[in-house]
Amino acid sequence: MAEGKVCTGFSDPYVAIYNESGGVITYTGGMRLARGVEVNIEPEVGDTDPFYADNVASETVPAKFTGGTITLTVDGLKEEAEKLIMGLPEPEELTYGEGKKANVYNYGEDMDPPYVGIGFLARYMSGGVESFAPVVLTKARFQTPNTNAATQEGQINWQTQELVADLARDDSTAKAWKKVVADVPTRVEGIEILKSILTITESQNTVEVQNG
């Protein structure tokens, strides 16, 4: 049996609106964010505040989480996901051509990005056996994303979207900022766990899943 496990993949980013009442955390309006390409979590921790005696650091206190960021690289946001994480107001309706209509979203003073929970799956391999670890960042708020695009030159240059969110402790008694569920053997089970934590029903978000 292998002594450790190695990360081999990242998939299935989900988001849901964060709510708190009397120290009880709930999530609403959740959905699949996009298709996952890469994730990077950078927590910030406070000083260990060492006590020196006999010319050495004799005692320290554990460094505690004070904030941080998560950077999600995805294929690209669809309309509903962008509206949710950016807190965009209802769109204006634009009429163009011969009776054609399009939604116009205004990025401005009326934006109100909500706190959200963010979930995803990390895939691992150990001794030739694959497993999936559901991870949830309990309270986060997305920053306004950059917009980048490049012309095609010969072959297609697949262009992704980078999303950054600020992390915080939640308002439960545990003051948690991250939840990591013990590995499960299949991607389907991992997604079920993410949906359970973020209170996402099948009617809200359905996606065809193949393991891998």
- The span from the CA of 46 to the CA of 144, in Å, is 27
Q: What is the pLDDT of residue 152?
A: 84
Average pLDDT over residues 11-37: 96
What domains appear along the chain, each with residue ranges and CATH number?
6-88+114-149+156-197 (2.30.110)
Average pLDDT over residues 113-126: 97
Q: What is the pLDDT of residue 212?
A: 57
Q: What is the pLDDT of residue 59?
A: 80
124 is written with which tokens? 């691992």
CB 118 within 8 A of CB 142: no
Where does residue 33 fall: left (phi above 0), alpha (psi -120 to 50 degrees), or beta otherwise?
Answer: alpha
Which range is least confidently modeled, 54-58, 106-110, 146-150, 208-212?
Answer: 208-212
pTM of the model: 0.88
Q: What is the pLDDT of residue 136?
A: 98
Whether the per-residue pLDDT at 207 is higher than 60: the answer is: no
32-86 pLDDT, tens digit per residue, is 999 999 999 999 988 777 888 888 888 877 888 999 999 999 999 999 999 999 9
The enclosing H or E element of 85 equals helix 79-86
CB 111 within 8 A of CB 89: yes
- Which among 191, 167, 189 is positioned nearest to 178, based on CA atoms? 167
b/e map of 179-190 (b: 16 or more CB within 10 Å)? bebebbeebebb
Per-residue three-class SS string for 20-54? EECCEEEEEEEEECCCEEEEEEEEEECCCCCEEEC
117 φ, ψ to 5°? -100, 140
CB 5 within 8 A of CB 126: yes
CA distances to 79, 101, 105 from 97, in Å: 22, 8, 19
Res. 203 pLDDT band, cuts 50 70 90: low
29 φ, ψ to 5°? 65, 25
- The span from the CA of 190 to the CA of 197, in Å, is 11
| Sign, CA torsion 202/178/5/41 | positive
